[in-house]
Amino acid sequence: MRNKIVAGNWKMNLNYEEAIQLGTNLNAWIADNQPTAEVIIAPSFIYLQTLLEAVDEQYLKIASQDISAHAKGAYTGDVSAEQLDSIGLDFAIVGHSERRDYQGESDTIIAEKLKQAFKHQINPIFCVGEKLEEREAGDHFSVVKTQVLNALTYQDKEDLSRLIIAYEPVWAIGTGKTATPEQAQEIHAFIRKVLNDEFGVEVANNTSILYGGSVNAANADEIFSQPDIDGGLVGGASLKYDDFVQIIAACK
């Protein structure tokens, strides 16, 4: 059965000391409070190894914010799945909308990134979500279905047991606007149906589908109470210890 998961995407925030402090404080809170949800943080690449050593992975898991589409070679600035695996990393965010927008990542590139992650036993948090104009045109179901199928039909079916999906409507990321719990539930149920139709009931039932988009301490409870929402991918609020622990506690 699928896990409850709260993942914090730190993006390009926090200096070295702040990152270690927040990571170790979260680790201690989780050890003391034993929340239901599995907790993952995604710091910048430069802090991954130090954080892997500073926290206990039975309490707090570490993810990269991206992964290269290539196995190795002349790809300046990229970090490969093999390199991440070699430092003991088990999770990676793949296909975040900021990378789709600012780095021009296509579904094809994202499919290659997922392939690399699976090849090295890294569990991808694969992000999908529509833009505002697509929702206003009523195209959100078809946009999300296309993103899911373009990336996943290319994978080996057995690898999908490692898959985590984050539904993140682009219009809700960092904007303070959240999808209503009903809007989020509707599309999470739709994604699960797509998984069921294309990859079978086991994949559909076992894949955690996280909601992302301005989740905060005040709205987390209501969002996480929906049956097809298995937790959250949290940006801004994951940088604030007090808020993030409340969000983790809300995910039951």
Smallest distance from ligand PEP to CB 217, Å: 12
Q: Number of residues in contact with ligand PEP, rule: CB under 6 A? A: 13
Out of 96, 120, 140, 188, the active site residue is 96
Closest CA to 81 of 89, 99, 73, 241: 89
Binder among 199, 235, 248, 250 for ligand PEP (CB under 6 A):
235
Q: Is 233 in the site for ligand PEP (CB under 6 A)?
A: yes
Phi-psi category of residue 16: left, alpha or beta, with phi > 0 → left and psi -120 to 50 → alpha: alpha
CA atoms of 18 and 9, how far apart (whole Å)? 15
With respect to ligand PEP, which residue has the nearer C-beta, 148 or 204? 148
Q: Which of residues 155 and 214 has its CB atom nearest to ligand PEP in the complex?
A: 214
The DSSP line for 100-149 is: HHHS---HHHHHHHHHHHHHTT-EEEEEE---HHHHHTT-HHHHHHHHHH
22 is written with which tokens? 């927040």
Q: By beta-carbon distance, which residue lies closest to ligand PEP?
A: 235
Residue type, 224: F
Examine the residue annotation and report whether 168 is marked as an active-site residue of this protein.
Answer: yes
Tell me the C-alpha distance between 57 and 90, whole Å: 10
Residue in this structure with the two tokens 């559909």, named with its chain if needed = 204
Which residues in the 183-212 window bind ligand PEP by CB under 6 A?
A: 212
Q: Is the dihedral of CA 181, 183, 188, 189 positive or negative?
A: positive
Residue of 98, 112, 130, 168 with catalytic role:
168
By the rule CB under 6 A, 129 interacts with ligand PEP = no
Letters for 158-187 (x = contact with ligand PEP by CB under 6 A, - = none) are ----------x----xx-------------
Task: Give yes or no: 96 in active site.
Answer: yes
Q: Does the footprint of ligand PEP cover residue 40 (CB under 6 A)? A: no
Scanning 131-139, 217-225, 235-243, 244-252 for contacts with ligand PEP by CB under 6 A, the matching segment is 235-243
Active-site residues: which are they? Answer: 96, 168
